[in-house]
Amino acid sequence: MMIFSTSLTAEKTRRIFMVFFVLASLLPFLLIIFVIFQYVLPLLAPDQINSLREIFAYSLMAALLIPLLSFFLMSRWIGSLEALTEDVKSKSAQIYKEEKEFKEENEILTLIRYFDAIFQTATDHLAEQKHLKELLSSLIAVAYDLTAELDFDRLFPLIIGKVTEAMSAERTSLYIIDWERHELWTKVAEQVEQIRLPLGKGISGRVAESGEMLNVADAWELPYFDRTFDREHQFRTRSVLCMPIKNHVGEKIGILQVINKKGKERFDSEDEIFLKALTSQVGIALENSLLIEELLLSFNSSIRTLSAMVDARHPLTAGHSQRVTDYSLLIAREMGLSKDEVETLKYAAILHDIGKIGIRDAILLKNGQFTPEERAEMNTHPVKTKAILDKFHFPKGMQEVPDIAVHHHEKVNGQGYPDGLTGDQLPLGSKIMTVADVFDALTSRRDYPKYASGETLNGDPMPLPMAISILKKEAGTHFDPDVVAAFLSCLPQALLLYRGDHFPPEYVDDMIRSLAPDLLP
Ligand SMILES: [Fe+2]
Ligand SMILES: [Fe+2]
């Protein structure tokens, strides 16, 4: 529309120009004609007038031709000018268009940059989500492993291992708070003894007291940091993240401390969040485990009380069941029994004579030898033990306790009671208890005479060498030879357990000195 109206204006201008040009060109000639007709012709002769007319006609023609020719030439010139103008306009339009396109291209670039930024942000978010997913998976896996382990002794190193791995740390320390003693305690793998620290001292002690998390890049810069461990173990503690472990009601029960973040200067805010999540899982696992430990302690003390009540019925059997248990456990460890087998044996040994609760006082407390009837009644105590223990609910994996306890008076040659089982039919736990039970009966005072090598002794403890010779002599008939060998291997430890208590030092020292002189104080 704009181009059309521009062309129309140009055409009109050209016509106006043409009219004015012709008129301007003719005006001098018309003036000359007017002067000639008015002033010259009246003065001339007729033949001169004709000649003048011819000159005038030729001049007029020339005068007409010149404007036309000029007009033609001017038109061409104006055409060129218009073409040039159009060209300039066209070029201008092109430049404008290019500029516009350039601007548009610039906007596209900006748009691309925006998209690139959005894409980068989305990629970052995806990477972050992936990382968070990995952390969450790791947390769930750790939580699952920790809550599945209820045994405190196994849980402790499990927590340390899992947290060290999950936090990418070089070391982890786990402390339990003992509020009664105002101390923290921890265990080092394979070491039975606890390491104890006063509350309020060092990093862990301070965090335990304040309940506030501590995150430092270099522990050595803290004036209260104890460098003893570093010096003794050629270790350099740098970054430390330390947090309190709380139970389900928010009470502080322990401290979790991760040391030296791998690949980084220090633990960051993400580590803090992750360790906080971990400590809540550790808190649940520890609380469950400690609760079970408490229940187990309560269960064990009930059983010991029950066993002690039976032993206490006769003044000479006091402490018998506990000693049989301790000797049995020494043998079991010497023979490499599993933890569950040892636990089962422990309950069987502590309760092995509980059936005596069903034996009349007249027989149980009789001073002297039994009649055959009395002996028969006395020999029912293992079956009574089993009947009582069958009513107990023992922890999982310890259902064999009654069967092991009932056979503590069996002999490997099948001459024992109540079932006359032979060595290959007897549970190993029963064969271990048999050796422990007889050894304690021989080395304790009894109100019936003892017999050795055909001689009748009194009821006093049998001299140790004599008791040991009986064990050796009856290995293969009464006792399992492997169990006797295992017991003799740990005999110094067994004697040391009750030296100064059940055993007077003069009773055991020669034997301990001959077998393991280093053990004597
Ligand atoms: Fe017994
Ligand atoms: Fe016994």
pLDDT recorded at residue 1: 42
Gyration radius of the chain's alpha carbons = 58
Facing residues of 177 across strands? 184
- Counting Cα atoms < 13 Å in the Cβ hemisphere of 93 gives 8
Report the range of poorest mean pLDDT among 97-106, 199-208, 235-244: 97-106
User: How close is the Cα of 514 to the center of ligand 2, in Å?
Assistant: 28
**DSSP three-state, residue 502:** coil
**Averaged pLDDT of the chain:** 86
pLDDT recorded at residue 290: 85
Q: Cα dist. 116→103, 121, 122, 123, 467 in Å? A: 20, 8, 10, 10, 90
User: How close is the Cα of 354 to the center of ligand 1, in Å?
Assistant: 9
Res. 188: pLDDT tops 70: no
Average pLDDT over residues 257-274: 93
Average pLDDT over residues 307-328: 91
User: How close is the Cα of 360 to the center of ligand 2, in Å?
Assistant: 16
**DSSP three-state, residue 242:** strand
Sheet with strand 194-198: strands edge to edge: 194-198, 183-187, 169-178, 252-261, 240-246, 214-216
Residues 81, 66: Cα–Cα separation, whole Å: 22
Q: Could you report how far apart the first and last alpha carbons of the chain are, in Å?
A: 121
Of 32-46, 122-136, 357-371, highest mean pLDDT = 357-371
Average pLDDT over residues 417-423: 97
**Greater model confidence, 438 or 140:** 438
Average pLDDT over residues 479-501: 97
User: How close is the Cα of 31 to the center of ligand 1, in Å?
Assistant: 168
Facing residues of 399 across strands? none
Query: DSSP label at 194?
Result: E
User: How close is the Cα of 351 to the center of ligand 2, in Å?
Assistant: 9
**Greater model confidence, 392 or 28:** 392
Residues 195, 178: Cα–Cα separation, whole Å: 12
User: How close is the Cα of 407 to the center of ligand 1, in Å?
Assistant: 9
Instruction: Work out the percent of the chain whose per-residue pLDDT is above 90.
Output: 49
User: How close is the Cα of 452 to the center of ligand 1, in Å?
Assistant: 20
**Greater model confidence, 77 or 51:** 51
Res. 26: pLDDT tops 60: yes
Tell me the residue length of the chain.
Answer: 521
User: How close is the Cα of 202 to the center of ligand 2, in Å?
Assistant: 51
Q: Which ligand is nearest to the CA of 385?
A: 1
Q: Which ligand is nearest to the CA of 350?
A: 2
User: How close is the Cα of 335 to the center of ligand 1, in Å?
Assistant: 23
Residues 312, 215: Cα–Cα separation, whole Å: 57
pLDDT recorded at residue 132: 79
Pair of tokens at residue 375: 């002996």
Residue 6's pLDDT band, with cuts at 50, 70 and 90, is: very low
pLDDT tens digit sequence for 121-178: 888 888 888 877 887 887 888 888 887 888 888 888 889 888 999 899 999 999 999 9
Res. 22: pLDDT tops 70: no
pLDDT recorded at residue 410: 98
Average pLDDT over residues 417-433: 97
Helices (H) and strands (E) in the chain, counts: 17, 8
Contact in structure between 288 and 333 (CB atoms under 8 Å): no
Q: Which ligand is nearest to the CA of 381?
A: 1
**DSSP three-state, residue 158:** helix
Q: Which ligand is nearest to the CA of 439?
A: 2
User: How close is the Cα of 437 to the center of ligand 2, in Å?
Assistant: 5
* Dihedrals phi, psi of 357, to nearest 5 degrees: -65, -20
User: How close is the Cα of 328 to the center of ligand 1, in Å?
Assistant: 14
User: How close is the Cα of 408 to the center of ligand 1, in Å?
Assistant: 6
Q: Which ligand is nearest to the CA of 410?
A: 1
Average pLDDT over residues 22-32: 73
**Greater model confidence, 207 or 194:** 207
Average pLDDT over residues 220-246: 91
Q: Which ligand is nearest to the CA of 407?
A: 1
Res. 3: pLDDT tops 70: no
Q: Which ligand is nearest to the CA of 317?
A: 2
User: How close is the Cα of 34 to the center of ligand 2, in Å?
Assistant: 171
User: How close is the Cα of 322 to the center of ligand 1, in Å?
Assistant: 13
Please name the helix (run of DSSP H) or strand (run of DSSP E) that holds residue 187, with its range, or none. Answer: strand 183-187
Facing residues of 175 across strands? 255
Contact in structure between 203 and 219 (CB atoms under 8 Å): yes
User: How close is the Cα of 486 to the center of ligand 2, in Å?
Assistant: 20
Average pLDDT over residues 512-520: 89
**DSSP three-state, residue 255:** strand
pLDDT recorded at residue 2: 43
Q: Which ligand is nearest to the CA of 320?
A: 2
User: How close is the Cα of 441 to the center of ligand 2, in Å?
Assistant: 7
Residues 414, 78: Cα–Cα separation, whole Å: 142
User: How close is the Cα of 483 to the center of ligand 2, in Å?
Assistant: 17
CA nearest neighbour of 143 among 154, 158, 153, 128: 158
Q: Which ligand is nearest to the CA of 438?
A: 2
Residue 31's pLDDT band, with cuts at 50, 70 and 90, is: confident
Residues 492, 503: Cα–Cα separation, whole Å: 12
Q: Cα dist. 23→9, 34, 197 in Å? A: 22, 16, 125
Neighbours of 114 (CB within 10 A): 10
Please enumerate in sequence order all residues whose Cβ is within 8 A of that of 363, keeping only pairs 6 or more positions apart, or say none: 370, 374, 377, 378
